[in-house]
Structure 1
Amino acid sequence: MYETLALYIDGEFIDGGGRKTDEITNPATLDVLGQLPHATTADLDRALAAAARAFESWRHSSPMQRSEILRKVGQLSRERAQEIGRNMTLDQGKPLAESVGEIMSCADHADWHAEECRRIYGRVILPRSPEVRQMVLREPIGVCAAFTPWNFPYNQAIRKVCAAIGAGCTIILKGPEDSPSAVMAIARMFHDAGLPPGVLNVVWGVPSEVSDYLIRSPIVRKVSFTGSVPVGKHLASLAGAHMKRVTMELGGHSPVLVFDDADVDRAAKQLARFKVRNAGQVCVSPTRFYIHEKIYDQFLEGFVNTLKTVKVGDGLDPDTQMGPLAHERRVPTMQKFVENAVQLGGKVVLGGEALDRKGHFFSPTVVTDLPENSMLMTEEPFGPIAPLTRFSDTDDVIKKANSLPFGLSSYVFTNSLQTATKASNGIESGMVNINHFGSALPETPFGGVKDSGIGSEGGTETFDGYLVTKFVTHV
C-alpha cells in the first residue's frame, strides 16, 4: 500500500478534509498513487503556533532525551527501509535498490546526530580580573522552517530535521509535493519514537506561497533550503529582509578532471555508473567532463560502453539500473540541452532522445566536441547527459572548472599526489573528491561555495546553523 498522505501538525495527522489536493503519480507508469492535501492559511498558523509553544519546553530538553529519540528514528529507518523505499520508488522513480539504500544511509544520519547533540559545548574564557567569570553558551535558535527537494526526498529532509531537533529547535518542514511519501514516513517515525507534539510539523502546498508565508512570520527564526539556485537566492533575500539565518544547499555543475596518469578504465566505469544514479538528478552529479587529450579516446570508449549496458526501466523491476525522470517537464528540458549541443557543433555519440515508452524516460546520453558556451557546459542539466571535452594543460583546466558561478562538488582522477594537491587547492568547490565518490556521509560536511550555497550540513558543523552564541559575564 502506498503511504497515506496528510499534514502533520502539533502531533496530529490531518487528512484532506475538503482541502485542495494534488494528484501524486508514478513517473514510470503514470498511475495515480494518491491525493496530497494542501495546508490552508489556518493550518500554517496552527503549525507556527504549535512549533512556538513546543520550543518553550523543547529548548530545555535534555540532550539525552533528544539523543534517545534520534536513536529510535535510526532504528525505525532500518526496520521500515523496504516499505519506505518502495513508496519512494513509486512516486520519485529511482530504482528500488537506490531508494532502500537512501533510507539505510539516513539511519546513520539519525545515529550521528544522536551522538553529536550530546556534545554541543560552550566554553569558559579566562578573565582579565579574577573576580570575573566569562562563559560562552550555545543555545537553540528557535523555530525553523525547512524546504526540501524531490530528488532525495528522505535524505534531504531527515538531515534538516535531525539537526534542528538535535539542537533543541522545533521545525516546520515543507517537503516535495511531487514525491511526498518519504517525508510522511519521517513524520510517522518521529511520532512513533515519542517526539513531543509541535516539535516537528509537516505541511504541503504551493511552494512559493508556503515559503513566503512561513519566512515572513516573526515566529520563524531560521530558514533551511535545498534546491535550485534561483529559488534559493529568492528565499535567502526574503529571509535576509527579516534578518533570519539561512542554510542554503543549492545547485551545482560539478567538473570532472581526469588526468593522463589516472586509472582510466576504472575512472570511466565509475563515473558512468555515478552519472546515471537517480537518472542524473543529483546536485553533486558529475556534469562537466574534462578528459586529458592523451587518454580521451580510451576514456570515451570505456564510458560509452559502460552506459550502453545500463538497463533503463521501472524502478520496481529488480534489473533496473536507471529509472525515469521524476517529472514530465524534465524530458523536453533534456531534449533542449541536446538540441543546443548539436546546433553548436556537438556530437551525440550515445542516446540523445526520449525513450518510446510510457513514462518520463530519457536515454543515457553522451555528447562530445562541445564549446564552453553551450548549455550543457554552463547550465546544470540535472539529467542523464554527460558532455565530454579534452584538455592538455592543468592550470587551464582548473580555470575552466572555476569558470562558472557554481561551487558545490568536483571530481579529480589522478595517481599523482602533486596533481591531486594542486587540483584540490585550486578548485573552488565545497567538496573535492579524488579518485572516488566520498561525499554526503553523516560525519562529513556537505555544502557549497559561491552560488551553490551557504553553510554546511553534516559533520561537526551540522548544528552551526541551528545554534546562537551567547556570551555571559558576571562578577
Structure 2
Amino acid sequence: MYINGEWVKTNEWMEVTNPATGETIGSVPIITHKQMDLVINSAELAFHEWKRLSVYERAAYLHKWYELIDKNAEEIARVLTMEQGKPLKEALGEVHYANSFLEWYKEEGKRMYGETIPSQFREKRILIQKQPIGVVAAITPWNFPAAMITRKVAPALVAGCTIIIKPASQTPLTALLLAKYGHEAGIPKGVLNVITGKSSLIGDNLLQDPRVKKLTFTGSTEIGKQLMAQAATTVKKVSLELGGHAPFIVFEDANIEKAVKGAIQSKFRNAGQTCICANRIFVHESIHSTFIERFVEEVKKLKIGNGLNSQSDIGPLIDLSARNKVQSQIKDAIENGGLIHCGGRVVADNFLEPTVISNVKDEMMVMTEETFGPVAPIATFRNEDEVVNRANNSPYGLAAYFYTESLSRMYRVTESLEYGIIGVNDAAPSTAQAPFGGLKESGIGREGSHYGLDEYVEVKYVSISI
C-alpha cells in the first residue's frame, strides 16, 4: 500500500486475478486497524501543510504527475487490462481519459474564485471564500480503475484536500501504479494515499472517523445508500455516482447508421460493464426491422477474447458472479417471449457472447435491472410521449441517449428525460470539462468540470463592518 509517502506491507495478503484466464497476477496487503489510524492521521497532518500551498504550486504537482502518466500510459494500460479484462485499446483510452482530469484540473483549480457581494448597508462588506474541505475518502470501482480515481483525486488535490483511496479489491494494481507515479512526481507525503484490504474494515474506519470530512464513492446504488447512512453519523459531505439503466431511443427520423454505430459503442464498450452504457434500447416501430438487421450485422463482427489480444473487441466479465447475473437476465427474457438474434452463449468461464434480444417487455429483468454485461434488449415504441414515459420509469437517472434529426424534438426530449447526462446523437458524452452525475437514485453531486471542483470545498461567508 502507499501510506504517508511510503510503501507499506502487512502479514496478510489477498490475490488479484486476471478475469480472462483466472491466473493470479499479484497480491496486495490487507490493511490493519493500526494502519487505518496511521493513514487517516497522516492525511490529516498533511492537509494542514498542503492547503497552505498556492493553487499554482499544487497544480505544478498535478502537471508532473500528468506527464509521468502520459509517458507510461502503455504500461498502465497493460496492468489495467490484466486485472480488469477490457481490451488493451480500451484500457489505453481509459488511461488517457483518466489523465485528462489531471490536465483539466491543474488549470481549473486556478479559477476557484470567491465572490464579493454588495451589501445593503454602507458600512458593510460581504466576502465569500472557498476553502478545501479536508481529508477525503475515495472509494472507487473495478470497471474503470484509472479514470474513477483521477476524476476524484485531481479536483480534491488542486482544491487543497488530501485523499485516501480505496480501490476495488478486483483492481487495486492500477491504483497502486498511479500512486507510484504520483510519488515520482514529488507529491508530498500524506497527500495521496492508496490502501487495500477488507471493505468493511476500511469503510467503517473512514466513515466513523471525524477527521475524514468528505466521502466520494462510485459504485452500486445499494452500497451507496449504506455508505451515505454511515457518513451521516459524522455529517460528512458526500458525492455518490451510483447505478444506471440508460435508455437508448431511436426515433423514426434518426440517421440509422449513426444510431447503430452509437448503440454498438455505448452498449458493448467494456463488455457492457459501464454505468452509463445503453441498457434499454427503444426503436420506433416504423424502423424497428431495419435497425435490428443492421445492428445484428455489426454485433456479429465483434471479436471476443483476452484483452491483451489486439484483435479483441469484447473482453471477459469481471467474475463468474457477474456472468451468472447476465445469464439469468437472458434466461428470463427468453422464458417471457424474447427473441435472440445473436449471442447468448458462454464462450469460456467469464466470456459471454454479445447478445441481441428483441420482442422484449418492460417488465423483464433485462429492462428493470442494471445489466452490466454485453446484452442489448430492443423494444419498440409508437410515439414520443410514450417512449419518454417508459424511459423515465426507473429509479435510476444517470445517462440517457436518443437519436433524431429534429431540432424541436431535441429540445423537447432533453427537457423531459429525467437523467443527469443526455447524449443526443452522441454515444460517448463523458469528458473532463463537463459535469458527470445522475438524478434520482443514481447519485448526488457531480464529477468533472468546475462543478466537480465545488464538491471538495466549503463556502465561507465573511461579513465585515468598516
Give the shorter-chain TM-score range.
Answer: over 0.9
Q: Are 1:378 and 2:368 an aligned pair?
A: yes
Residue of structure 2 equivalent to 1:4: none
Residue of structure 1 equivalent to 2:147: 155
Of stretches 305-314 and 178-187 in structure 1, the one that deviates more from structure 2 is: 178-187
Residue of structure 2 equivalent to 1:220: 212
Residue of structure 2 equivalent to 1:249: 241
Corresponding residue SS for 2:427: coil
Residue of structure 2 equivalent to 1:11: 5
Of stretches 406-415 and 329-338 in structure 1, the one that deviates more from structure 2 is: 329-338
Q: What letter corresponds to residue 6 of structure 2 in structure 1?
A: E
Superposed displacement of residue 438, structure 1:
4.1
Q: Are 1:337 and 2:307 an aligned pair?
A: no
Q: Are 1:317 and 2:279 an aligned pair?
A: no
Q: What letter corresponds to residue 432 of structure 2 in structure 1?
A: P
Q: Deviations over 1:332-356 (max 9, x none)?
A: 111111111112111122111211x
Corresponding residue SS for 2:455: helix
Residue of structure 2 equivalent to 1:459: 449
Q: 1:63 aligns with which of 46, 52, 55?
A: 55
- Report the RMSD for the aligned CA atoms in angstroms: 1.0
Residue of structure 1 equivalent to 2:117: 125
Contact 1:227/1:250, CA 8 A, preserved across alignment: yes
Q: 1:271 aligns with which of 258, 263, 271?
A: 263
Contact 2:266/2:428, CA 8 A, preserved across alignment: no
Q: Deviations over 1:146-181 (max 9, x none)?
A: 100000000001111111101101111100110112
Residue of structure 2 equivalent to 1:175: 167
Contact 1:28/1:360, CA 8 A, preserved across alignment: yes
Q: 2:343 aligns with which of 351, 362, 381?
A: 351
Q: Deviations over 1:366-410 (max 9, x none)?
A: 111122111000001000001100001110100000000100000
Of stretches 430-439 and 372-381 in structure 1, the one that deviates more from structure 2 is: 430-439
Q: What letter corresponds to residue 8 of structure 1 in structure 2?
A: Y
In structure 2, C-alpha distance between the alignment counterparts of 1:191 and 1:291, rounded to whole Å: 50
Q: Deviations over 1:127-157 (max 9, x none)?
A: 2333322211001111111100000000001
Q: What letter corresponds to residue 414 of structure 2 in structure 1?
A: S
Q: What letter corresponds to residue 53 of structure 1 in structure 2?
A: L
Residue of structure 1 equivalent to 2:272: 280
Superposed displacement of residue 418, structure 1:
1.3
In structure 2, C-alpha distance between the alignment counterparts of 1:181 and 1:371, rounded to whole Å: 41
Residue of structure 2 equivalent to 1:86: 78
In structure 2, C-alpha distance between the alignment counterparts of 1:286 and 1:459, rounded to whole Å: 23
Contact 1:349/1:365, CA 8 A, preserved across alignment: yes
Residue of structure 1 equivalent to 2:181: 189
Q: Deviations over 1:422-456 (max 9, x none)?
A: 11010000011000124221110000000000000
Q: What letter corresponds to residue 88 of structure 1 in structure 2?
A: L
Q: Are 1:210 and 2:210 an aligned pair?
A: no
Contact 1:291/1:391, CA 8 A, preserved across alignment: yes
Residue of structure 2 equivalent to 1:30: 22
Corresponding residue SS for 2:26: strand
Corresponding residue SS for 1:139: strand
In structure 2, C-alpha distance between the alignment counterparts of 1:143 and 1:273, rounded to whole Å: 37
After TM superposition, the score normalised by the length of structure 1 is: 0.96
Corresponding residue SS for 2:163: strand
Q: Deviations over 1:110-135 (max 9, x none)?
A: 01000011111111122233332221
Contact 2:133/2:213, CA 8 A, preserved across alignment: yes
In structure 2, C-alpha distance between the alignment counterparts of 1:266 and 1:122, rounded to whole Å: 43
Corresponding residue SS for 2:187: coil
Q: 2:95 aligns with which of 87, 94, 103?
A: 103
Q: What letter corresponds to residue 153 of structure 1 in structure 2?
A: P
Of stretches 407-416 and 333-342 in structure 1, the one that deviates more from structure 2 is: 333-342
Superposed displacement of residue 109, structure 1:
1.1
Superposed displacement of residue 208, structure 1:
2.6
Corresponding residue SS for 2:247: strand
In structure 2, C-alpha distance between the alignment counterparts of 1:107 and 1:414, rounded to whole Å: 33
Residue of structure 1 equivalent to 2:356: 366
Contact 1:273/1:307, CA 8 A, preserved across alignment: no
Contact 1:254/1:410, CA 8 A, preserved across alignment: yes
In structure 1, C-alpha distance between the alignment counterparts of 2:359 and 2:123, rounded to whole Å: 72
Superposed displacement of residue 266, structure 1:
2.4
Corresponding residue SS for 1:130: coil
Residue of structure 2 equivalent to 1:291: 283
In structure 2, C-alpha distance between the alignment counterparts of 1:345 and 1:388, rounded to whole Å: 13
Residue of structure 2 equivalent to 1:300: 292
Unaligned runs of 5+ residues in structure 2 are none
In structure 2, C-alpha distance between the alignment counterparts of 1:161 and 1:406, rounded to whole Å: 26
Q: What letter corresponds to residue 13 of structure 1 in structure 2?
A: W
Residue of structure 1 equivalent to 2:426: 436
Give me the identity figure in percent: 39
Corresponding residue SS for 1:462: helix
Contact 2:258/2:425, CA 8 A, preserved across alignment: no
Q: Are 1:137 and 2:129 an aligned pair?
A: yes
Corresponding residue SS for 2:430: coil
Contact 1:136/1:471, CA 8 A, preserved across alignment: yes
Contact 1:248/1:454, CA 8 A, preserved across alignment: yes
Corresponding residue SS for 1:463: helix
Corresponding residue SS for 1:164: helix
Of stretches 339-348 and 151-160 in structure 1, the one that deviates more from structure 2 is: 339-348
Corresponding residue SS for 1:330: helix
Contact 1:11/1:198, CA 8 A, preserved across alignment: yes
In structure 2, C-alpha distance between the alignment counterparts of 1:461 and 1:141, rounded to whole Å: 15
After TM superposition, the score normalised by the length of structure 2 is: 0.98
